[in-house]
């Protein structure tokens, strides 16, 4: 689970981060903020799955931050020194409420609750996409769930430019984003994408035929992102036949 820590006290953030490292290794801290403004920017930029949020902060409280955010598509664990905020926290459907000083058992329980909620959301989204894809076979707007270190990234097949096989994993190049490194091997992506206009031009390369810019006499394909992909000799004729059908 990717997480952001929000607390105006550096020492409190350090204690929380150390406890997470020791007792909740499934949590990866991807950012920290000491006020609501910085937290807002971090959350909207990095889209964490989990936010550990202090409530009483200068200028703007944790509740004020939540009211300003365009969506609350993450789980919340409130971390505070004041027990009288509990009822307000419940109104935001927080998965956990941990009082300072942080008790390890309470933290572990809150994180486990968050993990269950996050896994359920991911599974529901995967099932929703599966149903959509079944009802719309071959539709370029269908999305596939790409397993990564952080979870699942759902990407429309039409935005995938190419897939490159790495050692025991795959680099997926998507329009207007950085490449996604997935734990799936290239063979898995071949099975997922073969009905969406993708072709394996090489044992290490799977390309979207709709994103080809040029094919030269050196048997190299230039994709729309400027990358060059080799076409193996045994795949060349089949590839050319595919191009005439695009």
Instruction: Determine the 3-state secondary structure of 97 from DSSP.
Output: strand
Give me the pLDDT at residue 93, please: 55
pLDDT in tens, 182-241: 888 898 898 888 888 899 999 999 999 999 999 987 889 999 999 999 999 988 888 888
Alpha helix (H) residue ranges in the chain: 10-23, 36-46, 62-68, 86-91, 104-135, 186-193, 233-245
Higher pLDDT, 86 or 167: 167
Per-residue confidence at 155, pLDDT binned at 50, 70, 90?
confident
CB proximity list for 182: less than 8 A, separation 6 or greater: 146, 147, 148, 169, 170, 171, 172, 189
Is residue 97 over pLDDT 80? Answer: no
Q: Give residue 19's pLDDT.
A: 95
Higher pLDDT, 105 or 145: 105
Asked if residues 17 and 33 have their Cβ atoms less than 8 Å apart, the reply is: no
58-94 pLDDT tens trace: 888 888 898 888 878 888 898 887 666 555 555 555 5
**Nearest by Cα to 161 from 90, 79, 226, 107:** 226
Which domains, and CATH codes, for the chain?
2-121 (3.40.50.2300), 142-245 (2.40.50.1020)
In this predicted structure, the answer to whether residue 138 has a pLDDT above a threshold of 80 is no
Alpha carbon separation from 176 to 4, 7, 179 (Å, rounded):
25, 33, 9
Q: Does the pLDDT of residue 26 top 80, yes or no?
A: yes
Cβ neighbours around 147 below 10 Å, total: 15
Higher pLDDT, 58 or 244: 58
Q: What are phi and psi of 223, to 5 degrees?
A: -90, 170
Instruction: Please state the pTM of the whole predicted model.
Output: 0.53
Distance CA 243, CA 36 (A): 53
pLDDT at residue number 23: 95
Residue 147's pLDDT band (cuts 50, 70, 90): confident
């Amino acid at each position: 689970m990717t997480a952001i820590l929000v607390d105006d006290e550096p020492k409190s953030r350090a204690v929380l981060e150390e406890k997470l490292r020791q007792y909740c290794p499934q949590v990866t801290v991807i950012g920290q903020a000491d006020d609501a403004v910085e937290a807002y920017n971090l959350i909207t930029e990095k889209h964490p799955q989990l936010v550990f949020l202090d409530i009483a902060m200068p200028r703007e409280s944790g509740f004020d931050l939540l009211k300003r955010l365009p969506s609350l598509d993450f789980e919340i664990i409130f971390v505070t020194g004041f027990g009288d905020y509990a009822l307000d926290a419940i109104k935001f459907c927080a998965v956990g409420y941990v009082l300072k000083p942080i008790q390890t058992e309470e933290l572990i329980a809150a994180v486990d609750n968050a993990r269950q909620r996050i896994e359920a959301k991911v599974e529901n989204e995967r099932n929703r996409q599966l149903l959509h894809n079944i009802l719309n076979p071959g539709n370029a707007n269908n999305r596939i769930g790409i397993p990564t270190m952080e979870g699942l990234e759902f990407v429309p097949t039409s935005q995938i430019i190419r897939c490159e096989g790495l050692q025991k994993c795959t680099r997926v190049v998507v329009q207007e984003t950085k490449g996604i490194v997935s734990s799936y091997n290239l063979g898995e992506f071949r099975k997922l994408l073969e009905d969406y206009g993708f072709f394996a031009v090489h044992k290490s390369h799977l390309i979207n035929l709709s994103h080809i810019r040029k094919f030269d006499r050196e048997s190299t394909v230039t994709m729309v992102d400027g990358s060059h992909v080799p076409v193996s000799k045994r795949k060349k004729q089949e590839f050319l036949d595919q191009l005439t059908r695009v």
